[in-house]
Structure 1
Amino acid sequence: MPSSNDQVLDIHGKKYNRWLMFILLLVGTFAGMLMQTSLGTAIPTLMKAFDINLSTAQQATTWFLLANGIVVPLSAYLMTRTSTKWLLFTAYALLLGGMTITYLTPEDSSHWIMFLGGRILAAIAVGITMPLMQVIAVNVFPENKRALALGLGGLVVGMAPAIGPTLSGWILDKDHVIFGINIVSSWRTIFVIPMIVIALVLLLTPFVMKDVIPNKKIKLDVLSLVLSSIGFGLFLWGFTNVAMDGWSSMNSVILPIIAGTIFIILFVLRQLRLKEPFLDVRVFKVRNFTITALIIILVTMAMYGVEMMLPTYLQNVHGLSPLDSGLTLLAGALMMGLISPIAGILYNKVGVRNLTLVGLTILAIGTIPFVFLSATTPTIFITVLYAIRMAGIALTMMPLTTSAMNALPIEETTHGTAANNTVRQLASSVVVALLTSITQNIINTNSPAKAMKDTNPMEFASKTIDASMDGFRVSFAVGLGFAVVGLIITIFFLRAKKDNAGGAK
């Protein structure tokens, strides 16, 4: 519970309660992060409603992550230049506007671009609020409370995307009546609860949020902004197009990835020459920051290796309803919520290396059986395995983030957070596009001829399921590979010593 010790001063010398402010920030970020994976169980519903295929429907997630990857590098400049309170207010307004646009999209393939537009706007807002939450935690909490605060942040960052599919599945299962309010079974309803929460947070922000990150009037380097936007945008766009156009497409895949890489290199070189860089990439010269950031990337990729494909597998192969597939993943979300704060407390006792070793070992062991799933694997078995995986992720994600931030001086946390989240969002976008394309291509390659549907429908159905399983197993195997590589790097390169970089007192 907040105490008098939590009454501290903002940058203007005014008192505020840091826990009250941080709790409101957690609620707002949770509602925003729900949007990242809430459409996972709704993919088949969206495919039917908009008359689109799997690759197109997955754009609802890939373009969200793409927009995140573009805007996160800008967050360091915005946090340094702009009032904390009003930056949050603007981000919540954008988030509410983006969800509203998506909610109002007509059900027709020709309007799918409008749906994506709303998703992109919401992603821009989340790309601001997520790193801002981490920087605020580092700035307002002393080091002995920082791990707990970031552990609660890990609950939001990890649990919200995990619980999103369950909430969506419950909504799409059937109409519900709660307290006399009719909740319609529609993909639109998925956005209603987060919209209500964000609207309330938006109203409270001017009164509860305070300016806690020191500001200074730094000039926006327009060239850096252009290089960043074009570079990350083209790079991520190229990977997003892989699912639809394949790796051989020169115009929509190969050229954008190559051009994006060139622009990113130019962006990095410019940052190294600027006295006040747009995004200080020099933070990667700090060894422990770089190693922990790399492991975070691998954990993120391992998480998406299963999380993004599992709802589709459960619905298309097991024939589960959106609700049942969501409930299958609920235990994992609850496990994430339970373990994240505990991991924050354990961080100060056992250190990041030991936590990461245990977490990645659990993650790898929990992923191995997914590689051998079949169309008849019991659902309860999948539920237990998924919960085990999420426990491993919870034990690694926020302790690693805390270690990365502690490795930097307090004045570099805005750039460190932005850099860390940038590479993580790049990894997320790449792995989602990669896994979607691999799964779709394997399914297409191994699917039976359409003529068999008329001549031997039973065999056609059997071979179609086999083709789907081939694709899903490869996706799960890739996720396992990322976990194993992360474990190897932790064993040989992650130091047990904890860096102390100061912080709030």
Structure 2
Amino acid sequence: MTSSSPPAHAHAGPPDTKLDRHVLMVAGVVVLGAIMSILDVTVVAVAQNTFQQEFGTDAAGAAWTATGYTLALAAVIPLSSWAASRFGTKKVYLTSLVLFTIGSILCALAWNIGSLVAFRVIQGLGGGLLMPIGMMILTKAAGPERVGSVMAVLGIPMLLGPIGGPILGGLLIEKLSWHWVFLINVPIGIVAFIYSWIVLRKDEETSRPRIDLVGLLLLSPGLALFLFGISSSAEHRTFLTGSVLIPAIIGAILIATFIWHAFHADKPLLDLRLFKNRTLTIAVITMTLFMIAFFGASLLYPQYFIGVRGETTLTAGLLLAPQGLGAMLTMPIAGRMTDKIGPGKFVLGGIVLILLGMGVFLFLGAETSYWLLGGALFVQGLGMGMTMMPIMSSALATLNNAQVPDGSTMVNVVQQAASSIGTAVISVVLASGLAGSMQAGVAITSNTNPDALPLELREAPIPASFFDSAADIFGSTFMVSVILIALTLIPAFFLPRKKIASPLVEEDMERSAPVIMH
């Protein structure tokens, strides 16, 4: 009797989803970069009033420290895929760390608001590449069969950033000075650079592609203009003004033109043909709705605690801690199980938990129990741990190594756009509600930034009823996020509810020669 040896994958059994030592070390590299990039956004948000006082500027001037950073992110993220292919992920990641760290040092040395905004742009050019390149490195190191587990690791700083940022920012500003909002990045950046230099392996080869100049000239300014217009709505408290509509519409036209170009060019800046992948398309739609709702709601929690309840920034951050604790409990479990049984069941369950937790905030009052709100935030955190990263991993798990750079870049473009839209929509809805009640507007503004009030109102007495009115408006605004989260159930219903087949295994099966039995 004769036989032949079967191919290796015929008896390999199910792929191992356990993370080995090297993958965990690579995850540590990426998490350090993510912590720097994400914390910086929330910490700077806490320092807005301080910038106004230190540099003698108004709220709009100080806001450019955040806007400039966001626009730099938007301009550089589309370059991620090309840069990774041209220079290799390790070189690009190390360069990003250096640029971000140098930008942080320069920000701490700023002498006026103009110089601070300029240095924030430099910082953003580095920060914009940290997340997409980090996701590429992590996805390739782990392989498609373990992408859920590694995305769960990366998700921890993404969820804890909005919570830890206000706490850290409050401590640094109160105990030290505003300079440390930026200087805190320097030791982290140095450690991250050395660690990355040691741990990351050199890319085996780079394809040296030519850059799609037409695509770059369409997508980068298009994304930056669109986000600038959308972000400006928070300052103007409406979308219906030329300052918002003109840049947003021009940006949208440029993005739409890029989409047409990407489907017709031989080697576009981003290969949008990946959207022919059904799982990727569903995951991106789900992620867009979820991010708009999540980042919009994230804006409301600290504003309620500070503006209505009169808490400090530090206390507001601590009151949000239950959300992070809940996410930390479910995120590792959801990541591992997503690799084994697919994301569908976890995402649907997570969205239901978020709806239950967020539903409590629809009935906010000026004296609602912190125990009740803390419990609701904890339930939301449980849901977020089951939702955010499984959605992202379901998008990336369907891609082979050659497609990962484009996929990772697209995920980050969508994430940045969705977070800006969510923040803008909620800001405008909240501002419109407060504008409809001058009493509530006085209550909120005087607790957050008295200097923003008209002179005749700065000394106005604030009756308790004003805070009740403001709390009602916050509750009404939360309804927008609840509706958006509920809508997320529709695309989430179509996410895979079984293990996603590895594209690498499928490619291997296609390439392997047939075995002849004898």
Give the TM-score taking structure 1 as reference length: 0.86
Q: Quick one: structure 1 residues 241 and 142, their matched pair in 2 at CA, closer, same or farther if it must change by over 3 Å?
A: closer
Give the greater-gyration-radius structure (CA).
2
Question: For residues 188-199 of structure 1, what are the structure 2 equivalents within 5 Å?
Answer: 188-199=179-190
Letter in 2 for 1:166: I
For residues 503 and 334 of structure 1, do their structure 2 counterparts lie closer, same or farther at Cα, with a shift above 3 Å needed? Answer: farther
Quick one: distance in 2 between partners of 1:371 and 1:163? Answer: 25
CA displacement at 1:489 relative to structure 2 = 2.6
Whichever residue aligns with residue 486 of structure 1, its letter is T
User: How much has 1:424 moved relative to structure 2?
Assistant: 1.5
Percent of aligned positions that are identical:
25
CA deviation vs aligned residue, 1:140-193 (integer Å, no higher than 9, x gap): 223443322221111232223332222223334x43xxxxxxxx1x33323333
**In structure 2, what residue type is equivalent to 1:152?**
V
SS of corresponding position for 1:407: coil
Structure-2 separation of matches of 1:240 and 1:403 = 29
Q: In 1, distance between residues paired with 2:237 and 2:168?
A: 33
The alpha carbon displacement at 1:73 in A equals 1.7
Q: Quick one: which amino acid aligns to residue 367 of structure 1?
A: M
Q: Residue 211 of structure 2: SS of its match in structure 1? A: coil
AA matched with 2:141: V
1:343, distance to aligned residue in structure 2 (A): 1.5
Q: CA deviation at 1:249?
A: 5.8
- Which shows bigger deviation, 330-339 or 353-362? 330-339
Partner of 1:496: 497
Aligned to 1:340: 331
Q: Which residue of 2 aligns with 1:443?
A: 434
Quote how far apart the aligned CAs of 1:96 are. Answer: 0.9
What corresponds to 2:90 in structure 1?
Answer: 85
Q: Secondary structure of the residue that 2:368 maps to in structure 1?
A: coil
Q: d(CA) in 2 for partners of 1:242 and 1:395?
A: 32
Alignment correspondent of 2:136? 135
CA deviation after TM superposition for structure 1 residue 59, in Å: 5.0
2:101 aligned residue? 96
1:321 maps to which of 312, 329, 343: 312
Structure 1 contact 315–322 (Cα < 8 Å) conserved: yes
Deviation at 1:239, TM superposition (A): 0.9
More divergent stretch after superposition (271-280 vs 434-443): 434-443
Shift of 1:294: 1.3
Do residues 410 (structure 1) and 396 (structure 2) align? Answer: no
Gaps of 5+ in 1: 8-16, 176-183
SS at match of 1:309: helix
Q: Which among 22, 27, 38 is matched to residue 27 of structure 2?
A: 22
Q: 1:452 to 1:214 in 2, by over 3 A?
A: closer
**TM-fit CA distance, 1:31:** 2.1
Paired with 1:28 and 1:262, the residues of 2 have a C-alpha distance of 33
2:512: which partner in 1? none
Matched pairs, number: 476
Match of 2:159 in 1: 158
Maintained 8 Å contact 1:62/1:432: no
Change (3 A) 1:390 1:355: same
Deviation readout 1:182-226 (Å, 9 max, x if unpaired)? xx1x33323333321112222443333222475211111212111
Give the superposition deviation at 1:454: 7.9
Instruction: Give the aligned partner of residue 236 of structure 2.
Output: 245
Does the CA-based 8 Å contact 2:326-2:380 persist in structure 1? no
Describe the superposition over 1:8-33 as per-residue Cα deviations: whole angstroms up to 9, x where unpaired: xxxxxxxxx44333322322222222
Task: Return closer, same or farther for 1:280/1:101 CA change in 2, 3 Å cut-off.
Answer: same
Whether 2:229 is the aligned partner of 1:272: answer no
Distance 2:422 2:114 in 1: 23
Is the contact made by 1:299 and 1:393 (CA closer than 8 Å) also made in structure 2? no
**2:168 aligned partner:** 167
Work out whether 1:358 is the aligned partner of 2:343: no
Whether the 8 Å CA contact 2:33–2:131 is kept in 1: the answer is no
Deviations 1:294-339 (A, max 9, x none): 1112221222122122222211221112221111112222333333
Do residues 71 (structure 1) and 76 (structure 2) align?
yes
Q: 1:118 to 1:407 in 2, by over 3 A?
A: same
Indicate how the Cα distance of structure 1 residues 354 and 345 shifts in structure 2: closer, same or farther if over 3 A, else same: same
- For residues 60-88 of structure 1, give each alpha carbon's deviation from its aligned partner in whole angstroms, at most 9, with x where no partner exists: 44554443333222111111111222211
The structure 2 residue matched to 1:33, chosen from 12, 35, 38, is: 38
Shift of 1:394: 1.4
Structure 1's 245 and 313: CA in aligned 2 closer, same or farther, altered over 3 A?
A: same
Q: In the alignment, which residue of structure 2 is the partner of 1:400?
A: 391
Aligned CA RMSD, in angstroms, stands at: 2.9
In structure 2, what is the Cα distance between the partners aligned to 1:431 and 1:451? 28
In the other structure, the counterpart of 1:303 is 294
Alignment-mate amino acid for residue 97 of structure 1 = I
Per-residue deviation, residues 21-54 of structure 1 (Å, max 9, x unmatched): 3322322222222112223444454455556666
Aligned twin of 2:467: 465
Which runs of structure 2 are paired with 1:160-239 in the superposition (5 Å)?
160-172=161-173, 174-175=174-175, 184=176, 186-212=177-203, 214-239=205-230
Question: The residue matched to 2:208 in structure 1 has which SS?
Answer: coil
Asked whether the equivalents of residues 440 and 471 of structure 1 are also in contact (C-alpha less than 8 Å), the reply is: no
Q: Measure, in 2, the Cα distance between the counterparts of 1:63 and 1:432.
A: 16
Equivalent-residue separation in structure 1 for 2:464 and 2:58 (angstroms): 21
Residue 456 of structure 1 and its aligned partner are, at CA, apart by: 11
Question: Which one is further off, 67-76 or 51-60?
Answer: 51-60
Q: Counterpart of 1:39 in 2: which secondary structure?
A: helix
Whole-Å Cα distance in 1 between the matches of residues 139 and 454 of structure 2?
61
State how far apart, in whole Å, the 2-side matches of 1:60 and 1:155 are. Answer: 25
Distance in 2 separating the partners of 1:383 and 1:170: 22
TM-score computed with the length of structure 2 as normaliser: 0.84
CA distance in 1 between partners of 2:298 and 2:475 (Å): 13
